[in-house]
Structure 1
Amino acid sequence: MVEKNAMNTLLKLALLLLTLPSQAISNSPPFACDSANPSTSSLPFCQRSLSLEKRAEDLVSRLTLQEKISQLGNTGPAIPRLGIPSFQWWSEGLHGVSNYGRGIRFNGGAIAAATSFPQVILAAAAFDPLLWYRIGQAVGTEARAFYNGGQADGLTFWTPNINIFRDPRWGRGQETPGEDPLTVGKYAVAYVRGLQGDSFHGGGLGGKLLASACCKHLTAYDLDNWKGVNRVSFDAKVTAQDMADTYQPPFRSCVEEGQASGIMCSYNSVNGIPTCADPNLLSATARQAWGFNGYITSDCDAVATIFANHSYVNSPAEAVASAIRAGVDVDCGPFMQNHAAEALQQRKLFNSDIDRALRNQFMVRMRLGLFDGNPQTLAFGNLGPTQVCMPEHQALALDAARAGLVLLKNEAHLLPLSKAKLASLAVIGPNSNSAWKLLGDYAGPPCSSVTPLQALKSYVGDVRYLPGCDTAACAAAAVDDAAKLAGEVDQVVLFMGLDQEQEFEDLDRVDLVLPRMQEKLITRVAMAAKRPVILIIISGGPVDISFAKINPSIGAIVWAGYPGQAGGTAISEVLFGDHNPGGKLPMTWYPQSFTAVPMTDMRMRADAAGGYPGRTYRFYNGKVVYPFGYGLSYTGYSYRFVKATAEVIFSRSNGGRGDLKTTSVEEMGPDECQKLRISAVVRVKNEGDIAGKHPVMVFARHSSAAAGSPVKQLVGFEPVYLGAGEEVNMTFGISPCLHLARAEPDGSMVLDQGSYFLVVGDQEHPLELRPLNV
């Protein structure tokens, strides 16, 4: 995908020239099976009464070998004799329709922008699946509108990114829903259902697709470019235990519950095997065990890396053969198109292997309605340019930014500010007056944009601005000028943090502190100001701001992620109390000392003997700057367990382990697991005098956890809006097999009998799990 260094930029430019769509810009969508063309409309693959499998089989059987090979890249050229237009598989829609791929055009038509929602990591901070679904639904609607408006060459979007945010230095952590497997899995399901046009609860798709979603990057991919270690050659050493309870669950949820129609294999190897060449991963696990029914694409040039970087095979032909036979159906890039014939000639690959890949491809295109005649006359045909940047979508972008903002510090109730009492305001920082810095990566041109500086001017008459540093890199800072300005105004707001030059695809961080002169600038301004200052952190990944956390001259801190096109407005609303913040951190904020841990160490669990602290809130045993799930509000909430399950009894089945305290989830089977349910009713009350919305988060922990068990585990969450003094009962359903099971070293999932606790806020509820007749 998009690279940062010069060499990769040149390579990508070359790839672009090789893969430009053959189809000319048009104001009508491309489609096959035109009823006006009697030579093709009567062919079996055009008959909607037949099954997708039969239609795809018929189509593939009519292709010449050369035509088949031509379809193996992300740009599938047209096949005029069969009335089949070209198709571009590579489009992006991470948090809005984007121009990062090859399938979308923001010029040459009526659509010049798309709604830019908050970057995923900030949307995740809302812990609100319905919000995630609505964002996906809006993106899918706008994607189809681009297509119907003749400004798209495909409808397959390579999103969402559901890799676990394992290491805080990862440049692409901003693209993910955070570090918790349950949260990431729920995000995947909600977003995929929305993007593909399914109902929120699933089961309403009926085989058709509004747009196609793609779960990426399978698997254990969370290192791009760190201290000379590059993703295209990195071999991730992952235990079966970590694979079972951390790396794989989000992908399984994305496939089984979300019914995603696409999967992308990653650049890296896992335990010596490139993921795009691993039949156990792509075929045995994804297709057979999880029931995946869609197409599998490589990441861009990842098939080439099987030979060129991983040295897993001895020739390009063998790389193509290994990928296709493992289960890859589409190659992002021309590598498979260029070397498949050679692989066939050498009998490393067979026609049947290519036929299988093409059947998977064309079934997805058929589900998108592109072989049913003119899409504008069928399902979703009414969507066009007027559905892009709709007021409803832009309002949703603002709601999402509001919901994700996290209040980290608010000493002496500095916030919210009073418009009536504030005569002058200084806005300082490199992230104060740049709209594009609020978007994050994989963003397209936004419908509208308001910088924080512009938004704050609508609240205060006298607003004075100083960037302080030219960029977030802050190699040089106007410290004296900033301190002078701070002493002249009633209040100071600093917009600091990171930008896409600090963290990005193909760019991991080596530090967790603020870049260069930022800390000095913040500290001096805080010392010079008349009253405690407000610090806004713009960033995708966590930052060690311990100095600001303990500094009494810094009265309030807000983490704003990359809040999207409406971010400036949302931040201003929070600062002045028009919105009560309720977001919670979806990832742990580690201290700078964590950088002593090699990013290449994929282990999740702590190793006391080796001095390894573990990773994420589930296993990390070191100090934190801010913990997972942390976030303040302008009001206070109390929790109380009203009613909850006290005991769960299950059949004993230990898989021959000899340990009668451990029960195999697999041997219990899905029927018994379905019967085992834990119900918890929690009374939530807004104890303050300000209305607010926040997510209620339920954790579980074992009173005497076995070695390698999580310290605690998020088992449920749901947002709730409460007026001042209002209270409500919330019911959470918990599955012991899904939420309380732990992974053994061999990757099998087991239930431990004994005492557990459900935890909400500062409240705990005891729970006993025991086998039958014990």
Structure 2
Amino acid sequence: MNEKMKLIILIVTVFINITSLVHLVESVSPPFACDLSNPSTKLYPFCSNTLSISQRVQDLISRLTLDEKIAQLVNTAPPIPRLGIPSYQWWDEALHGVAYVGNTTYGINFNGTIRSATSFPQVILTAASFNPQIWFRIGQVIGKEARALYNAGQATGLTFWAPNINIFRDPRWGRGQETPGEDPLVTGKYAMLFVRGVQGDSFEGGKLGEHLQASACCKHFTAYDLDNWKGVNRFVFDAHVTLQDLADTFQPPFHSCIEEGKASGIMCAYNLVNGVPNCADYNLLSKTARGKWGFQGYIVSDCDSVALLHDEQGYAKSPEDAIADVLKAGMDVDCGNYMLNHTKSAIKQKKLAESEIDRALGNLFSVRMRLGLFNGNPLKLPYGNIGPDQVCSKEHQDLALEAAREGIVLLKNSVKLLPLGKSKTRSLAVIGHNADEPHTLLGNYEGPPCNIVTPLQALHSYVKNVRHHRGCGTAGCTSASIDKAVKIAKLVDYVVLIMGLDQTQEREGLDRLDLVLPGKQQELITEVAKAAKKPVVLVILSGGGRLPVTWYPQDFTKVPMTDMRMRPEPSSGYPGRSYRFYEGKKVFEFGYGLSYSNYSYKFISVAKNNIYFYKRKSNPNSYILVSELGTKLCEKSKFWVTIGVENIGTMAGKHPVLFFVKQAKLGNGKALKQLVAFQSVKLNAKEKAEIKYELNPCEHLSTANEDGSMVIDDGLYYLIVGSEEYPISVIVV
């Protein structure tokens, strides 16, 4: 930046959506089975609430013909009229609010009493709040509004394919905006709390029981984070992932989603991992998810993944082999029609036993029963009183606004220009293509919002004299009206530039090639900043709090996006990925984010300075396996850390406190540091607070070794908050 150029203040945001809109038209009854007014209902044990769900499901399956069974293995499951069972649509979306699937023939429509739903910020911004309570409350709202749509007769399914909990490994990934970022702890906690909220559980978990408000599905299992980069697409990409990276990066969010969140659905991803398609991986779906983690729910393919096994990937020799591969691996339902078309011939060719279909149907009908769809009129059951008045309510819209405010990340404010004083701001220029683009604010996997307030509209309500100019015609900004923008900038007290990306630049199916602003955006920003009377405010919309990702320099694009390694390899110049392993230059660190105030930290107490572990005599290593310790010893080793936080500034603020751990001795793939806990704290100016974190050495001090086993190393560790460090020792004897 040259000396003439004035300071630029950076903010990252996505969108805010703040008022309600509900249209009243005639409502329709929701679809359900086991109508108590139908005398034949009493003849079917699968309609009996006195039996367990397992017993009811087995009775239902025993009554189906082979053709009826096969027809239920796809996302658009047809009705079974002779048994009084309506059709069911497995495909619904709810990434950041109940959404369109793109076709009203799918599970949700907005053509009835309810015409819109609360639209929350894109997930990457929500994650930037580092506020677990908000994540849970967003899930609650989405689950409630989903159930309201069903009760109004506007849904033929209650299974929502969200959240997306893939690790945002590479900043060029077009779908990174859908995720909670690059850290496995943050992503896992987001998954757990979002799922609990959607499904009707409590924040702490454990209160869900059999009944689901709605069903959440964690996707895309696993190691999926490339869509279409330089001719390599997600449909055939074979991700070569080490056991070490799988264990401590890619798998933990799904483990948390299943074991702690109790998700009732998983989606297996398009890609292959180490030569095996995810949807055909028995070790992944059955041995790990169901066996090790105790998953009890359904597993769906990403759309047309089953067809890819034979048609694109060449993994299966025939369509029938593809069917056999996925069902034997543990998958249950095909998003697509491939299983409808080829399952019967797979049975005829004796490549598949009918019992495998029965196993899949058991998982599918169990979830539908847990949703209350086989218990008679759902309006007379739990969740039956959730109506249209609870969609787009003021409470829900206030939460969307709160989430957006807490997620915005302030990157630079060196002259304390922000916040702009309302009384002192007499004139304002708002420049940029994203200032007044409603659709850009919605992100992707969006639904019809209750109402949209663009940044320009919001600023009009704050300042009377506002001048607006797009600057760039589109986000690509192949041409820019720089002279006109500069002219306007010279006439006003303050300038706000609202720039960045949209779905034409990054989205599902489109990864980026570079990390700079497209076209002439940078030139426009520079010239306007030179011309303005005061430092300008730059708002970048892209896909808050604190950054949940590392901001890499443009030079990072030399690293192939197809290289899945998280850990660096100095001998080849490979820098690694994410704040835990990346050894190159950074624009901004993970967790970076300013406040309008300043905060200080100190360690008040640490319950244990020395932690002892006793290994077996046969263990010659200077570490101990976590699996060797067992649950009881891990529980006994827990200890509390108390951290003091003080707002030493002049303004009140809400501030995420991030707590890291690092080992003194690095190498052998150890993380540079690892986030182990976080909490948002609200403090007035000069106010103090204490935060308590419980550390579990088995979870927070362990690392993955090369064979994917979690180990705790002997040696010195540092607890870190802000610039404060506190040493503790692990002694393995």
Q: Normalising by structure 2, what TM-score? A: 0.95
The residue type paired with residue 317 of structure 1 is: E
Compute the displacement of 1:654 (Å).
6.3
Compute the displacement of 1:207 (Å).
1.2
Counterpart-to-counterpart distance in 2, 1:135 and 1:654: 47
CA contact (8 A) 1:699 1:713 kept: yes
Counterpart-to-counterpart distance in 1, 2:480 and 2:108: 39
What is the SS of the residue equivalent to 1:409? coil
Corresponding residue of 1:468: 471
May I ask how many residue pairs the two structures share in their alignment?
A: 706
Corresponding residue of 2:94: 93
CA contact (8 A) 2:74 2:339 kept: yes
Counterpart-to-counterpart distance in 2, 1:219 and 1:97: 24
Corresponding residue of 1:601: 563
Query: Within the alignment, does 1:530 sit opposite 2:491 as a pair?
Result: no
Corresponding residue of 1:209: 212
The residue type paired with residue 271 of structure 1 is: N
Corresponding residue of 1:692: 653
Counterpart-to-counterpart distance in 2, 1:650 and 1:374: 58
Within-5 A mapping of 1:226-237:
226-237=229-240
Corresponding residue of 1:429: 432
Compute the displacement of 1:108 (Å).
2.9
Counterpart-to-counterpart distance in 2, 1:43 and 1:259: 29
Within-5 A mapping of 1:651-690:
651-653=613-615, 658-659=620-621, 661-690=622-651
Counterpart-to-counterpart distance in 1, 2:416 and 2:511: 36
Corresponding residue of 2:678: 717
Any idea what the Cα deviations from partners look like across 1:397-447, whole Å, max 9, x if unmatched?
000000100000002101111221221100000100012211211110100
CA contact (8 A) 1:193 1:258 kept: yes
Query: Within the alignment, does 1:362 sit opposite 2:365 as a pair?
Result: yes
C-alpha RMSD of matched pairs (Å): 1.2
Compute the displacement of 1:648 (Å).
4.2
Within-5 A mapping of 1:213-292:
213-292=216-295
Indicate which of 626, 646, 649 corresponds to 2:611.
Answer: 649
CA contact (8 A) 2:148 2:388 kept: yes
CA contact (8 A) 1:492 1:534 kept: yes
Counterpart-to-counterpart distance in 1, 2:58 and 2:696: 41
Any idea what the Cα deviations from partners look like across 1:245-271, whole Å, max 9, x if unmatched?
000000000000000000000000000
**670-679 or 115-124: which moved more?**
670-679
**259-268 or 103-112: which moved more?**
103-112
Within-5 A mapping of 1:280-319:
280-319=283-322
CA contact (8 A) 2:89 2:107 kept: no
The residue type paired with residue 224 of structure 2 is: Y
Corresponding residue of 2:507: 504
Query: Within the alignment, does 1:759 sit opposite 2:720 as a pair?
Result: yes
The residue type paired with residue 584 of structure 2 is: G
CA contact (8 A) 1:654 1:664 kept: no
Compute the displacement of 1:168 (Å).
0.4
Compute the displacement of 1:106 (Å).
3.7
Counterpart-to-counterpart distance in 1, 2:154 and 2:618: 60
Change (3 A) 1:489 1:654: farther
Task: List gaps (5 residues or longer) in structure 2.
Answer: 1-25
The residue type paired with residue 566 of structure 2 is: M
Corresponding residue of 2:699: 738
Query: Within the alignment, does 1:636 sit opposite 2:639 as a pair?
Result: no
The residue type paired with residue 30 of structure 1 is: P
Indicate which of 435, 445, 456 corresponds to 2:459.
Answer: 456
Compute the displacement of 1:657 (Å).
5.1
Counterpart-to-counterpart distance in 2, 1:340 and 1:430: 50
The residue type paired with residue 27 of structure 1 is: V
Within-5 A mapping of 1:150-229:
150-229=153-232
CA contact (8 A) 1:131 1:400 kept: yes
Corresponding residue of 1:5: none
Compute the displacement of 1:26 (Å).
7.4
The residue type paired with residue 756 of structure 1 is: Y
Any idea what the Cα deviations from partners look like across 1:697-751, whole Å, max 9, x if unmatched?
1000001124200000000001010111110111001111111101110001100
Any idea what the Cα deviations from partners look like across 1:492-513, whole Å, max 9, x if unmatched?
1000010011110011000100
Corresponding residue of 1:114: 117
Counterpart-to-counterpart distance in 1, 2:195 and 2:396: 17
Counterpart-to-counterpart distance in 2, 1:644 and 1:50: 51
Corresponding residue of 1:144: 147
The residue type paired with residue 623 of structure 2 is: T
Query: Within the alignment, does 1:707 sit opposite 2:668 as a pair?
Result: yes
Counterpart-to-counterpart distance in 2, 1:135 and 1:45: 34
Corresponding residue of 1:521: 524
Compute the displacement of 1:646 (Å).
3.6
Counterpart-to-counterpart distance in 2, 1:684 and 1:651: 32
Corresponding residue of 1:375: 378
Counterpart-to-counterpart distance in 2, 1:509 and 1:680: 42
Query: Within the alignment, does 1:769 sit opposite 2:725 as a pair?
Result: no
Corresponding residue of 2:82: 81
CA contact (8 A) 1:648 1:678 kept: no
Counterpart-to-counterpart distance in 1, 2:66 and 2:730: 59
Query: Within the alignment, does 1:617 sit opposite 2:579 as a pair?
Result: yes
Counterpart-to-counterpart distance in 1, 2:629 and 2:425: 64
What is the SS of the residue equivalent to 2:571? coil
Compute the displacement of 1:70 (Å).
0.3
Compute the displacement of 1:688 (Å).
1.2
Indicate which of 129, 133, 138 corresponds to 1:130.
Answer: 133
CA contact (8 A) 2:432 2:499 kept: yes
Any idea what the Cα deviations from partners look like across 1:446-480, whole Å, max 9, x if unmatched?
00110101100111111000001111110110011
Task: List gaps (5 residues or longer) in structure 1.
Answer: 1-24, 541-558, 560-582
Corresponding residue of 2:21: none
Compute the displacement of 1:622 (Å).
0.4
CA contact (8 A) 1:685 1:727 kept: yes
Counterpart-to-counterpart distance in 2, 1:423 and 1:400: 29
Corresponding residue of 2:59: 58
Change (3 A) 1:534 1:376: same
Counterpart-to-counterpart distance in 2, 1:533 and 1:670: 55
Counterpart-to-counterpart distance in 2, 1:754 and 1:712: 15
The structure 1 segments of at least 4 consecutive aligned residues displaced by more than 4 Å after TM superposition are 654-657
Corresponding residue of 1:49: 50
**417-426 or 292-301: which moved more?**
417-426
Corresponding residue of 2:324: 321
Change (3 A) 1:306 1:656: farther
Any idea what the Cα deviations from partners look like across 1:339-392, whole Å, max 9, x if unmatched?
101111111111000000001000000000000001000000001211111111
Corresponding residue of 2:5: none
Q: Normalising by structure 1, what TM-score? A: 0.90
CA contact (8 A) 2:110 2:116 kept: no
Corresponding residue of 1:8: none
What is the SS of the residue equivalent to 1:318? helix
CA contact (8 A) 1:645 1:767 kept: no
Counterpart-to-counterpart distance in 1, 2:452 and 2:616: 58
